[in-house]
Amino acid sequence: MAWSVDAILGDKYRLIRLLGDGSAGTVWEAENTLVGRRVAVKILHDELAGHTEIRDRFVAEARASARIAHANVVDVFDLGEAEGGTPFMVMELCEGDTLSHIIEQRGAMGAEYACELLIQILSALEAAHALGIVHRDLKPANVIVIHPAPDQPLAKVLDFGIAKGVHPDGEDPEERDVFGTPHYMAPEQAAGDSVDHRADIYAAGAILYELLTGRPPFDGSMPSLVLADVLTRPPKPMRAFVKTLPTGLEELVRKTLEKDPFDRPQSARLLARALTSFVRETSSPRRRPSVSATEPPLPLVAKVGADQAPDSNKPRLQLVQQSEPPPAIPGKLK
C-alpha cells in the first residue's frame, strides 16, 4: 500500500514526513503517539514483504543493530508489522547526511578529519565483532554523519541487512552467495569465500582511502571490472591523488587493503589505535579534529525551525539513498 502522512503503524507510530525512498523500502519521520518521541521508521516495500530472503535480511538488520547498542550504530527500538503483514523497524532519528553524500559534495578530506570518522566507524565495528556480527556491506552510503558541533562529527553505522552472525539458528543461508558492494568488498568476499571480521577491516580501509583521495581504491564502468581489480591488482598509490599525507598513513591504508586477510590489521581496535596517532588530542572528553582555515568543516545539515518550512528537495535525514541499488539476489551482486 502507499503510505501517507498521518498513517498509523503498529497502533502507535504516526507518520509525519517522508525522509527517503529506495528500492527496498521507505524511511519516514514518525512519532510514537504513546510517549511523544520522534523516531525514524523504515518500511519494507509491500512487493518485497513476501520475498523470504529479503524479509529475513530486513529482520536481521533490526536484530543486529538492536543487539549492538553502540553510540556509533543507528539504534533500533522496535520491529513490527503494518497492515497486511509488511514489516517495519523503528530507529533513532538522526539529523545528518550519509557519508557518500558528503564525499560527493565535498571530495577529499583532510587526514585528521578522515581518521576521526574512521575511528568512530571502527568503534562500531569493534562492538559488532565482539558479538560475532560481521557487517559485510560497510560503505559510505551506510554511514550517517551528524555534527553536534562544526568540528565534532559523530558517525553512525547502519544497514546490517546482510550481516553475518545474526541468524537465530546460527546458520547463514547466504554464506556461499556473493553480497555486498564491489568498491568496498574484500577479495575473499568477492571470490565467494567464507568471510570474517577482517572483511569489514578491508571495507573500512577502502572508505578511508576514498575519504583521503576523493575516490575509491578501485573504480570501473562495470561491477565485474571493479571486482577483477579487487581480486588481482593493488590500488593506485594515494599520493597519485593527494600531494601530502602524514608519514605512515598511506602505508597503514595499504595494509588494510591487502588481498590476504592475514596481512591486514587483525581487529578494528588495532586499526583504530594506529589511526589515533593521526588525530590531535584535545582536552575535551572526545577528540575534536581541527579544520584548517582553507578547509571548511563538513557541511552541516540545515536546521528547520518552527517558522521555516523543510526543504522538500533535500531531506535532513538520508537513511536510504535515492539511487539505492535493488536488493541483492543470491548469486548476484547488489
Grid cell listed for 258: 591487502
The phi and psi torsions of 282 (rounded to 5 degrees) equal -130, 175
Closest by CA to 100, choosing from 144, 130, 62, 36, is 144
Helix, strand counts (H, E) of the chain: 9, 9
Contact 282, 288 (CB under 8 A): yes
Q: What does the radius of gyration of the chain's CA atoms come to, in whole angstroms?
A: 20
SS3 264: coil
Q: Are 72 and 122 in contact (CB under 8 A)?
A: no
- So which residues are the catalytic ones? 137
Nearest to 79, CA basis, from 36, 34, 39, 106: 39
C-alpha cell at 125: 565495528
CA angle 140, 61, 75 (to 5 degrees): 75
Distance in angstroms (rounded) separating the CA atoms of residues 216 and 229: 12
Distance in angstroms (rounded) separating the CA atoms of residues 128 and 133: 5
Name the grid cell of 299: 557541511
Say how far apart CA 89 and CA 76 lie, in whole Å.
7
Give which of 306, 304, 321 is closest to 95, Cα–Cα.
Answer: 304
3-state SS track over 242-259: CCCCCCCHHHHHHHHCCC
